[in-house]
């Protein structure tokens, strides 16, 4: 892999001393580091990295110490022994070593492209990269080229034009929004079927960091935030293990197709996410402040919600001719019918039409301190669907969000909160009211439907999902989880 910057790039040695080499191309700042890491040369304000023999240790205590589990280490065994999935969704994606065998490890040494948003979160991402990430990468034989994004959708544009064959992985150091840009940029390329096979890595430097928090959780590490979470995720990159991830395909009434790596929210959660954007400099505290402000002026939203529960999946494709169109890039959504048609008869239609929030979530966390799905890692091809019906009190809603930090909100005995694992869903807001947030990014409020595609792309992580299946296996119970006791005051 080449270790040089493109013409007109910033270059730097391991001490971080830049030298300008011409005009910066396409408004992107690039820093190139040689493939041979320089020993003993860190930033003057950077902590010394631990010795290479400990590069797999997390910054925080491992949950083994708390749970006594024998299966909480990052799952290196299955992947190293060739038992990782041999297929990702409908693409049949495989990673092969030079000898032609299957592998789910990044090579050593390896070359990665780092896309860093210097304005994400509190605006300290570049400083954190130099102090917490760069020393560990140097010891792990991970050389990198650093590219700074400068505007919204810049990362999307960069990966659309990038020669992906130069890199062993794409590393995103920002919040969840830039990872959303990267995945959609890959899926918009003419060679999308090949492009989406490029392994991705999330290094948290935004406000929410839900995807990184989920990967941290799957690896068996304690729930941590800020620099501790960044260090844990960096060590996962140094360990090089890959895990397959599901992708949520969304179709909007306007004809737009979007791919989500994390979540779709409507109502209260979307309001907090989008309206707290002006408090971005507060970091994760922006969500706490946004929650308090929205509770003070609690809204309800009218709409129709339907979903395909896990266990009600029909193997055959819908018969509508509209799904035979070949002008849409990406996988075929076999469980969806056109939005102009009613949902199939085997779907569940929620009778209520007044909601406080609806959330479709692919992973365990909705933020670094929001353990939204404590019921366990969903099998491939399924997602968590939560909704809260109108009538919930402000006191109970506050209790739910406070309990979510430790994943105990399902124990609050709230009869308005419903949870069900699903494969697909449709949401029809009435009169276009409310905001949609897809991976934290604002979307127009319009009818939307989506389905999960299992094991569709690779991410750096210490967890290996269950063996891939085109149809998820039903859990013991398919009834929505809802607590019947009456609501109690806070």
Q: Is 37 helix (H, G, I), strand (E, B) or coil?
A: coil
Residue 207 · residue 283 · CB < 8 Å: yes
The reply to whether 51 belongs to the active site is no
Residues 6+ apart with CB under 8 A from 71: none
Quote the CA–CA distance of 404 and 384 in Å, as a whole number.
15
Quote the CA–CA distance of 118 and 126 in Å, as a whole number.
6
Quote the CA–CA distance of 225 and 223 in Å, as a whole number.
7
Residue 200 · residue 113 · CB < 8 Å: no
Rg of the chain over all Cα atoms, to the nearest angstrom: 22
Residues 6+ apart with CB under 8 A from 366: 208, 210, 263, 269, 359, 372, 404
The active-site residue, picked from 176, 273, 333, 439, is 176
- Residue 311, sorted as left (phi over 0), alpha (psi -120 to 50) or beta, turns out to be left
Pairing relation of β-strands 169-174 and 110-116? parallel
The conformation of residue 11, written as its DSSP 8-state character, comes to E
DSSP for 366-417, please give it.
SBTTB---TT-PPPTT-EEEEEEETT--HHHHHHHHHHHTTT-GGGS--TTE
Q: Which two tokens stand for residue 398?
A: 């506050």
Burial of 114 (0-12, 13-18, 19+ CB in 10 A): buried
Active centre residues (catalytic): 176
């Amino acid at each position: 892999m080449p270790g040089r910057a493109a013409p007109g790039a910033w270059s730097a040695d391991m001490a971080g001393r830049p030298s300008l080499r011409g005009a910066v191309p396409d408004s992107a700042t690039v820093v190139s580091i040689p493939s041979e890491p320089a020993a003993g040369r860190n930033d003057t304000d950077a902590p010394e990295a631990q010795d290479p023999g400990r590069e797999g240790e997390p910054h925080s205590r491992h949950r083994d110490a708390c749970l006594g589990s024998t299966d909480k280490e990052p799952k290196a065994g299955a992947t190293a022994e060739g038992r990782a999935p041999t297929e990702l969704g409908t693409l049949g994606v495989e990673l092969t070593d030079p000898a032609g065998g299957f592998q789910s490890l990044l090579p050593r040494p390896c070359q990665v492209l780092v896309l860093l948003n210097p304005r994400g979160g509190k605006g300290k991402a570049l400083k954190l990269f130099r102090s917490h990430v760069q020393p560990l990468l140097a010891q792990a034989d991970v050389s990198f080229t650093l590219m700074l994004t400068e505007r919204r959708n810049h990362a999307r544009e960069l990966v659309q034009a990038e020669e992906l064959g130069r890199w062993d992985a794409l590393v995103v150091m920002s919040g969840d929004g830039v990872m959303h840009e990267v995945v959609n940029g890959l899926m918009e390329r003419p060679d999308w079927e090949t492009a989406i096979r490029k392994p991705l890595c999330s290094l948290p430097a935004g406000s929410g960091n839900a995807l990184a928090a989920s990967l941290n959780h799957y690896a068996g590490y304690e729930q941590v935030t800020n620099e501790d979470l960044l260090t844990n995720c960096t060590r996962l990159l140094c360990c090089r293990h890959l895990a397959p991830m599901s992708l949520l395909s969304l179709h909007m009434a306007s004809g737009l197709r979007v791919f989500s790596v994390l979540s779709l929210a409507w109502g209260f959660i979307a309001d907090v996410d989008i309206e707290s954007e002006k408090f971005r400099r507060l970091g994760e505290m922006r969500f706490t402040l946004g929650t308090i402000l929205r509770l003070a002026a609690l809204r309800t939203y009218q709409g129709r919600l339907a979903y395909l529960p896990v266990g009600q999946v029909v193997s055959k494709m819908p018969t509508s001719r509209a799904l035979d169109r070949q002008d849409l890039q990406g996988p075929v959504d076999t469980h969806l019918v056109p939005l102009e048609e009613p949902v199939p008869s085997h779907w569940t239609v929620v009778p209520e039409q007044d909601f406080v929030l609806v959330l479709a979530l692919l992973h365990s966390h909705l933020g670094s301190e929001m353990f939204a799905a404590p019921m366990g890692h969903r099998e491939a091809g399924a997602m968590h669907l939560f909704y809260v019906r109108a009538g919930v009190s402000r006191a109970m809603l506050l209790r739910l969000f406070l309990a979510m930090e430790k994943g105990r909100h399902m124990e609050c005995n709230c009869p308005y909160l419903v949870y069900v694992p699903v494969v697909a869903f449709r949401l029809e807001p009435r009169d276009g009211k409310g905001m949609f947030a897809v991976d934290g990014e604002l979307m127009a409020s319009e009818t939307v439907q989506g389905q999960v595609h299992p094991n569709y792309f690779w991410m750096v992580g210490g967890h290996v999902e269950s063996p891939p299946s085109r149809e998820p296996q039903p859990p013991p119970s398919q009834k929505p989880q809802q607590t019947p006791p009456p609501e109690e005051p806070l």
